[in-house]
Structure 1
Amino acid sequence: MSMHRDHQHEHRRDEAGHHAGHQGASADLRDAPGDHEHGSSAHEGHGEHHEHGGHSGHGDHVGQFRRLFWIMLVLAVPVVAFNAMFAHLVGYHLPDGEWVQWVSPILGTLLYVWGGWPFLTGAVSEIRSRKPGMMLLIGLAITVAFVSSWGSTLDVLDDQLDFWWELALLVVIMLLGHWIEMRSLAQTTSALDSLAALLPDEAEKVDGDAVVKVAPSDLAVGDVVIVRPGAAVPADGKIVDGSASMDESMVTGESKTVRREVGESVVAGTVATDSGLRVEVTAIGDDTALAGIQKLVADAQASSSRAQRIADTAAGWLFWFALGSAVITAIVWALVGLPDDGVVRTITVLVIACPHALGLAIPLVVSIATERAARGGVLIKDRLALESMRTVDAVLFDKTGTLTKGEPTVTGIEPIDGYSEDAVLSLAAAAESDSEHPLARAVTGAAKHRSLDVPAYAEFSSSPAVGVRARVDGSVIEVGGPYLLEHHGLSELPIADKWRTEGAIILHVVADGEVIGALRLADEIRPESHDAVDALHAVGAQVVMITGDAQAVAETVAAELGIDRVFAGVRPEDKAAKVAELQREGRKVAMVGDGVNDAPALAQADVGIAIGAGTDVAIGSAGVILASSDPRSVLSIFELSNAAYRKMKQNLWWAAGYNLISVPLAAGVLAPVGFVLPMSVGAILMSASTVVVALNAQLLRRLDLTPEQSAARTLNRTASN
């Protein structure tokens, strides 16, 4: 993303200063601080998931579990291969020699202590927090297997309790599951780090006649700093000398530079693209706007609910089920006068109560789901965001750059009698041909889109705050905003009032001092936005739009797209409050944005979705990142969330179902009719359960999550119903 931002800076430096004559016409666009503000925040609150045993799974923990898995796998091979019970089960003979019987116990002990350490410490943590879950279930199983296996090795317990091979497989498979899980949870960037990175490393402070370099943190209110072209403002301040086109995209999401003059305020982290400034510092440290955004993000993340993982919930129930079954088993066998058999049955219950499949059920689904999502242009950073998306019933879109293209487009032409639309547009395009201003590019782009023959021009000139002028086919053609008409003493065309209420930018075309037509320019709605809104309605979600635009502008876009609800004129710092307002109404909210100013709102939302073309902060903080700006990608997340949740539930039923059947059988519930589940058979069923879970998760690979396919499937399902 830093490369993307550097490219933006370069592009804006090229663009700066061109076509000042359109500044009057585009004043509404410039002066609406929220108009192009999109944001990103995201679900780091969900990133604070309930980690197993204090293993927060990010950063180097992924590497630690990977290394631990491979080391334990190497140790597990001889443990299993030289285990007498496994050899008997499979049907091969171990080599002669007394050393053979000690391979499994010695290496198995190393496996238990070294490979089992994360689970044992996690089990202790769950006991302390009084929240039994997966770690306690694993810790109980491997500890019982370890103790009983040593008891069998030393002839203290029955030979049936030689579980070294089962202990090895349990540790290795659980390590594999946790490695896969932590890899899927690893976060690549930090939102708060990205925000801090917006500030320059040093500031140039004016000290008398000298300029000294200091850290931004050493600045004081009242200091004057020099901001050179291409440099970032080190602290909030007021311009005391110079003017510059400011790139405020990092803070506002606004894709165009904004001209700032003497007396106007500038914000820390924004960049002067074309000329230098002298800025008097008005706020430092925690009082800056950037620090305020950081605090809002941190607060929203800290207050986000820590959703309980469904795998942990299942593991918690299975723990009590296994413990209760073991106690009942011991009591019943003791009461019937077979305490020795009771010990064997009880230990068997506790060992097989932890199915390998349960440790792989969720991680495998998440790993495959995130891979499929990436192929469809959806990057899942936070598993809980993926899980939560299926419950979302309100999707909040930032308008500019998300539902719209974020750049002006000619959306209407009004010629006077005697001129056609094409004639007015071709003359305007000819006059604009030499300009690099965004409005000029919109006009020339519209002419190109209509395949018009644009005539040659000569004597091009531009006048600040007035417009452009050129000689075309012997006539003087001028294009500009209200100052152009005022300069000639001309009146607007009647259509201008209607266009203005819709929030459009209006340019008039003047030929030899007479108005020959007007052009309506507005932020064009993305064609795919229509399908996105329709498909979201089809899945029962309310579609809400939030923007800094005036109400009239917002209502025009909302009416065209069929959006249910509009929040217009919203300041960046108030966006999170709007998300909270929807949540207070009982709605589960997904927020879609791509700029820093939306970070608090995205963090507040139940699911934060960042547009990939947005800022580093958006990418760093989002639970879900859309690689493209296609709003239909939101449907891909809905589909993936529902599909992944179905697979999680199916896998958990397979994993838990094994327990619900095998534990009572291992306890001896059918002993009165002569059947007791042997440990070897239980182990085979356990392995079969793991294979079923793995194969079931693989079915997710068939899902095509490209935005157009997801939206089309959703609309087709609705039509067929």
Structure 2
Amino acid sequence: MKDPHADHMPSAAHHTAHDAGATTGSHEHSIAPAPIDHTRIDHSPHEHALHAEHSGHLSDDDAHDDHAGHGGHGGHAGHGADHVAQFRKLFWINLIIAIPVVGFSGMFAMLLGYTLPSFPGANLIAPVLGTVTYVWGGRPFLSGAVSEIRARKPGMMLLIALGITVAFLASWGATLGLLHHELEFWWELALLVVIMLLGHWIEMRSLAQTTTALDSLAALLPDEAERVEGDLIVKVAPTDLAVGDVVVVRPGGSVPADGTIVDGRADMDESMVTGESRTVVRSIGDTVTAGTVATDSGLRVEVAAIGDDTTLAGIQRLVTEAQNSTSRAQRIADKAAGWLFWFALAAAAITAIVWSAVGSPDAAVIRTITVLVIACPHALGLAIPLVVSIATERAARGGVLIKDRLALESMRTIDAVLFDKTGTLTKGEPTVTGVAAVGDRTPEMVLALAAAAEADSEHPLAQAIVRAAQDRNLTIAQATGFSSSPAVGVTATVHGEKIRVGGPHLLHEEGVFEIDAAETWRGEGAIILHVIQDGVVIGGLKLADEIRPESRDAVDALHKLGVEVVMITGDADAVAQAVSKELGIDRVFAGVRPEDKAAKIVELQTEGKQVAMVGDGVNDAPALAQANVGIAIGAGTDVAIASAGVILASSDPRSVLSVIELSRASYRKMKQNLWWAAGYNLISVPLAAGVLAPIGFVLPMSIGAILMSLSTVVVALNAQLLRRLDLTPANSTQTILGR
């Protein structure tokens, strides 16, 4: 039997907006948007390597070369915790070795005024253990220097290696009597290596925390799944599941793979995807994501995607891809680090020449080593990547997936946000927004009778009517004799009376007139259905695409930030203006065909605006690509996601505020770190060279090493402050609105 609602459809045959000549975009009236799928994006080849080679701290292939060295840091990729353990071990062992090196160093004894013990071999303790410190403790820096030389991209590791090598050779020269005894630097060398290892340990731990936080997404999956095999339930590893398998999810258990609920109903904790702590009800036919938790009751789920095809795997790839993409700020940092290497080398050469020229060759060596050590731009290498790593990880936990770091940087400059209406500002499904009754009937009576007549229909408008009655806790009577008539409506017998629900053709067929409210509703672009009882109009129903309750806060918060809010839709102007008026939107583009959306972006850009486009449909893809920042929202399609730089895991429009807040906070941290790292070097190098020696101030080499490591620690700790951001959509919006 044919469903009755040709007349219920938003079409000219039905009424309302399209009576006014609305143009329908290809997804503007889609009732059920496809669930988000993060799996079909072409990912960069770096997606499997996070921070490779202290990688650094860098992001693209060139950047990998830049810090290839950090050699001892080896690939952080997937091994962050291993490198933390290695540097911790190196630090503690070399600290223990450094104690006798310092204690038996002749120059250190002379400085403190004590006499060295005179047992056989005492004079070899400092040189032998100092050599162990240089070879073993200094190995990460020496191997990193070799990598930088091979890559023809000298950097911080080469500076460190030069400093400790000069100190090592000078110390052996002094020990063997070939050089002045004041050039015996064993104690300085040991402390320098220990301090450098401490700085790198702290740095590695900072990076590993970010990597671990990302890896923790994988830990959301259960260790085993319960697969239904006939009458049996068999425990298997999630990796052994196949598409089509049915699995049991116990109360409090995690979903092992993406799928569709085939039995049961539960409140699902989806915070790992959306960032929101509030649970969401999911029942038969709804999709669930791997890693989400059924909090209160059990489910049976038919597996739809496994392994790398799951949403969770897609999120991990997106976050990794973002952390490995290059940003403008990163390129500036890389260039600055390169210049600082040559600046330090030139300063060291000038220092050696000047101090030698004034007759102090010993001081020349000391000052040169100090310059090489203190000028190491290590903090600069960490300044940007650590901020980006933490920012993208925090964003993912807030339901914001950064696919392109350039998009994240650009969001802070956006001055116009263009929202697609259907599925973004609205829910993309019809909802009863008004009920009018005629005579002595009440709105509740009209709605209950309409719901009874529509109960056997599967049409979206019929389901909206039934849902509205259920939400109001109305009793829906059992109807009989259900029938439907295309382009007219439905007919059923309720309590022995003939009830009909339909659009304008039904009124014409019955020879009755529409209710008084119909004209006003039509002006608002609503869908209008009339309810007729035994040939008499007893009321009308107003249906519209329901506005998301979060949309108003999103618009208000954007206005408070000075951002213009624009809406674009394929709906008629009446529909668009009704939504615009309710939300307080600044500007509306109505009746826009899908292929013309990108042109509207260009129109805004020619006005000098930096535009962010928020959309979810296939027809939004060209506009998302054209915008300065494309944002695909929750229920978006694969095509929309592939065209966007930012993906919002939820369908909450307030998530846009989270992106802006994150962009501004990240930029502040990047700027602070760049100023600290570069400024520190520019100030400290002249001091290390001895420019204040004429007034009696000479910076000791060990203090120089401490300051260099301290600068790295400061940058790392400053970046860690980003972890305090709460990027859930509700919190970001409330913060901006000052509530």
**Would you say same fold, with TM above 0.5?**
yes
Structure 1 residue 666, shift from structure 2 partner: 0.5
Q: Which residue pairs with 1:686 in the alignment?
A: 708
| 1:113/1:688 CA distance change after superposition, 3 Å | closer
Counterpart contact for 2:432–2:465, Cα < 8 Å: yes
Structure 1 residue 395, shift from structure 2 partner: 1.4
Q: Which residue pairs with 1:227 in the alignment?
A: none
Q: Which residue pairs with 2:77 in the alignment?
A: 62
Q: Which residue pairs with 2:666 in the alignment?
A: 644
Q: Which residue pairs with 2:9 in the alignment?
A: 26
Structure 1 residue 468, shift from structure 2 partner: 1.6
AA in 2 matched with 1:699: L
Counterpart contact for 1:185–1:382, Cα < 8 Å: no
Matched, 1:531 2:553: yes
| 1:693/1:607 CA distance change after superposition, 3 Å | same
Q: Which residue pairs with 1:551 in the alignment?
A: 573
| 1:609/1:32 CA distance change after superposition, 3 Å | closer
Give, in whole Å, the separation in 2 of the partners of 1:86 and 1:383: 47
Q: Which residue pairs with 1:142 in the alignment?
A: 160
**Aligned to 1:590, what secondary structure does the other structure show?**
strand
AA in 1 matched with 2:170: S
Matched, 1:710 2:715: no
Counterpart contact for 1:145–1:167, Cα < 8 Å: no
Counterpart contact for 1:142–1:171, Cα < 8 Å: no
Counterpart contact for 1:431–1:479, Cα < 8 Å: yes
From 391, 400, 408, give the equivalent of 1:369. Answer: 391
Structure 1 residue 669, shift from structure 2 partner: 1.3
Matched, 1:581 2:603: yes
**Aligned to 1:411, what secondary structure does the other structure show?**
strand
Q: Which residue pairs with 2:131 in the alignment?
A: 102
- Tell me the alpha carbon deviations over residues 307-328 of structure 1, each in whole angstroms, 9 at most, x when there is no partner: 3425446535644653554454
- Tell me the alpha carbon deviations over residues 178-202 of structure 1, each in whole angstroms, 9 at most, x when there is no partner: 777888999x9xxxxxxxxxxxxxx
Structure 1 residue 405, shift from structure 2 partner: 1.2
Q: Which residue pairs with 2:428 in the alignment?
A: 406
| 1:703/1:495 CA distance change after superposition, 3 Å | same
Counterpart contact for 1:35–1:400, Cα < 8 Å: yes
Structure 1 unmatched ranges of 5 or more: 1-16, 128-135, 189-300
| 1:375/1:50 CA distance change after superposition, 3 Å | closer
| 1:50/1:63 CA distance change after superposition, 3 Å | closer
Give, in whole Å, the separation in 1 of the partners of 2:361 and 2:530: 98
Counterpart contact for 1:72–1:111, Cα < 8 Å: no
The number of residues matched between the two structures is 575
AA in 1 matched with 2:156: I
**Aligned to 2:576, what secondary structure does the other structure show?**
helix
AA in 2 matched with 1:516: I
Counterpart contact for 1:116–1:171, Cα < 8 Å: no
Structure 1 residue 431, shift from structure 2 partner: 0.9
Structure 1 residue 409, shift from structure 2 partner: 0.7
| 1:400/1:365 CA distance change after superposition, 3 Å | same
Question: Which range moved further: 76-85 or 569-578?
Answer: 76-85
AA in 2 matched with 1:145: G
- Tell me the alpha carbon deviations over residues 262-315 of structure 1, each in whole angstroms, 9 at most, x when there is no partner: xxxxxxxxxxxxxxxxxxxxxxxxxxxxxxxxxxxxxxx9xx996342544653
Q: Which residue pairs with 1:151 in the alignment?
A: 169
Structure 1 residue 538, shift from structure 2 partner: 0.2
- TM-score normalised by structure 2 residue count: 0.67
Q: Which residue pairs with 2:533 in the alignment?
A: 511
Matched, 1:307 2:328: yes
Give, in whole Å, the separation in 1 of the partners of 2:143 and 2:620: 45
- Tell me the alpha carbon deviations over residues 603-661 of structure 1, each in whole angstroms, 9 at most, x when there is no partner: 33333333233334555664433332221222222223223333333334443443243
Give, in whole Å, the separation in 2 of the partners of 1:701 and 1:370: 11
- TM-score normalised by structure 1 residue count: 0.68
Give, in whole Å, the separation in 2 of the partners of 1:643 and 1:396: 23
Query: How do residues 200-219 of structure 1 correspond to structure 2 at under 5 angstroms?
Result: none
Counterpart contact for 1:389–1:638, Cα < 8 Å: yes
Give, in whole Å, the separation in 2 of the partners of 1:452 and 1:485: 26
| 1:72/1:690 CA distance change after superposition, 3 Å | closer
AA in 2 matched with 1:469: T
**Aligned to 2:653, what secondary structure does the other structure show?**
coil
Provide the alpha-carbon RMSD of the alignment.
4.4
| 1:36/1:685 CA distance change after superposition, 3 Å | farther
Matched, 1:696 2:718: yes
Matched, 1:351 2:334: no
Counterpart contact for 2:210–2:393, Cα < 8 Å: no
AA in 2 matched with 1:23: A
Structure 1 residue 154, shift from structure 2 partner: 4.8
Counterpart contact for 2:613–2:630, Cα < 8 Å: yes
Matched, 1:35 2:14: no
From 625, 629, 634, give the equivalent of 2:656. Answer: 634
Query: How do residues 158-557 of structure 1 correspond to structure 2 at under 5 angstroms?
Result: 158-160=183-185, 162=189, 164-165=193-194, 168=197, 307-309=328-330, 311-312=333-334, 315=337, 318-319=340-341, 321-323=343-345, 325-493=347-515, 495-557=517-579
Give, in whole Å, the separation in 2 of the partners of 1:144 and 1:691: 22
Give, in whole Å, the separation in 1 of the partners of 2:641 and 2:423: 16
| 1:432/1:144 CA distance change after superposition, 3 Å | same
| 1:577/1:331 CA distance change after superposition, 3 Å | farther
AA in 2 matched with 1:462: S
Give, in whole Å, the separation in 1 of the partners of 2:643 and 2:170: 52
Q: Which residue pairs with 2:62 in the alignment?
A: 53
AA in 1 matched with 2:140: L
Question: Which range moved further: 361-370 or 433-442?
Answer: 361-370
Give, in whole Å, the separation in 2 of the partners of 1:563 and 1:43: 35
Counterpart contact for 2:156–2:341, Cα < 8 Å: no
Structure 1 residue 64, shift from structure 2 partner: 6.4
Structure 1 residue 392, shift from structure 2 partner: 1.6
Structure 1 residue 168, shift from structure 2 partner: 5.0
Question: Which range moved further: 631-640 or 572-581?
Answer: 572-581
Counterpart contact for 2:569–2:591, Cα < 8 Å: yes
Structure 1 residue 410, shift from structure 2 partner: 1.2
AA in 1 matched with 2:162: V
**Aligned to 1:369, what secondary structure does the other structure show?**
helix
Counterpart contact for 1:43–1:382, Cα < 8 Å: no
Structure 1 residue 435, shift from structure 2 partner: 2.3
Give, in whole Å, the separation in 2 of the partners of 1:85 and 1:98: 8
| 1:683/1:54 CA distance change after superposition, 3 Å | closer
**Aligned to 1:459, what secondary structure does the other structure show?**
strand
Counterpart contact for 2:3–2:484, Cα < 8 Å: yes
Give, in whole Å, the separation in 2 of the partners of 1:566 and 1:663: 57
Counterpart contact for 1:68–1:115, Cα < 8 Å: no
| 1:179/1:312 CA distance change after superposition, 3 Å | farther
Give, in whole Å, the separation in 2 of the partners of 1:451 and 1:596: 37
- Tell me the alpha carbon deviations over residues 511-567 of structure 1, each in whole angstroms, 9 at most, x when there is no partner: 223333322211011121111101100011111112222333222211211111223
Give, in whole Å, the separation in 2 of the partners of 1:86 and 1:578: 71
| 1:471/1:691 CA distance change after superposition, 3 Å | same
Q: Which residue pairs with 2:623 in the alignment?
A: 601
**Aligned to 2:78, what secondary structure does the other structure show?**
helix
Give, in whole Å, the separation in 2 of the partners of 1:143 and 1:414: 83
| 1:170/1:702 CA distance change after superposition, 3 Å | closer
Give, in whole Å, the separation in 1 of the partners of 2:42 and 2:692: 50
